[in-house]
Amino acid sequence: LAHSKMHCCDWRMHKQESEHLVAEVRNGKRSVAPFALLGVTDSAPDQLLCARIWVGDKCRASPAPIWKGKRYRHDRIRLAYLSADFGDHAVSYLLAGLFERHDRSRFETMAISFGADAAGEMHARVKGAFERFIDVRDKSDFEIANLLSGLEIDIAVDLMGFTVHSRTKIFAFRPAPIQVNYLGYPGTMGADYIDYILADRF
């Protein structure tokens, strides 16, 4: 309710509702999604706690991780970006240039796309920036995780975090040796299976 009211610019009771949500999180309750909490408080400890509660409830680590410590020996590092937003979306506008500039002598780049079929110039540009663009929208989280394992992905980058259409459970199966949160969600994932966040000092 509080999140919906913010979208409507209804600030009546905002302070009280925000304080209530933060208090519920601090009491360990499943009161708010991490994305919604970003608009309520800038407290990093509260955001971390909220993310950990969410992960424990919605996408806890698999007791049988797919990747079991094997070290791959590829000529190039295999780098996969996962997103539902490889189209006319802010993530694509911000990252298209980065995808195009990867050093192909050192990195083999792949896009794992689970978004709706996207047309348009930005989708075409992003698709052309990768060596492989794999549409997995019809696959389950477990199937996608197994695909990443089968491709021997060295680094899997989640561009979604806790945003709309995210599929965090893919990473909960631990399909890759290194798993990273980047850009799409500007906060902690609170999950032991996410090894890094790429961020600046802000």
Q: Are 35 and 185 in contact (CB under 8 A)?
A: yes
Question: What was the pLDDT predicted at 116?
Answer: 83
Q: What is the pTM of this model?
A: 0.95
- The three-class DSSP label of residue 110 is strand
Q: Which residues of 69-79 are buried (b: 16+ CB within 10 A; e: fewer)?
A: eeeeeeeebbb
Residue 180: pLDDT band (50, 70, 90) is very high
Q: What are 61-107's pLDDT values in tens digits?
A: 999 999 999 999 999 999 999 999 999 999 999 999 999 999 999 99
Using pLDDT thresholds of 50, 70 and 90, give the confidence band for residue 169: very high
The 10s digit of each residue's pLDDT in 36-54 is 999 999 999 999 999 999 9
User: Phi, psi at residue 172, to the nearest 5°?
Assistant: -65, -25
| DSSP, residue by residue, 129-167 | HSSEEEE-TTS-HHHHHHHHHHTT-SEEEES-TTSTT--
Q: Spell out the residues 6+ positions from residue 201 whose beta carbon is closer than 8 angstroms to its own.
A: none
State phi, psi for 132 to the nearest 5 degrees: -135, 135
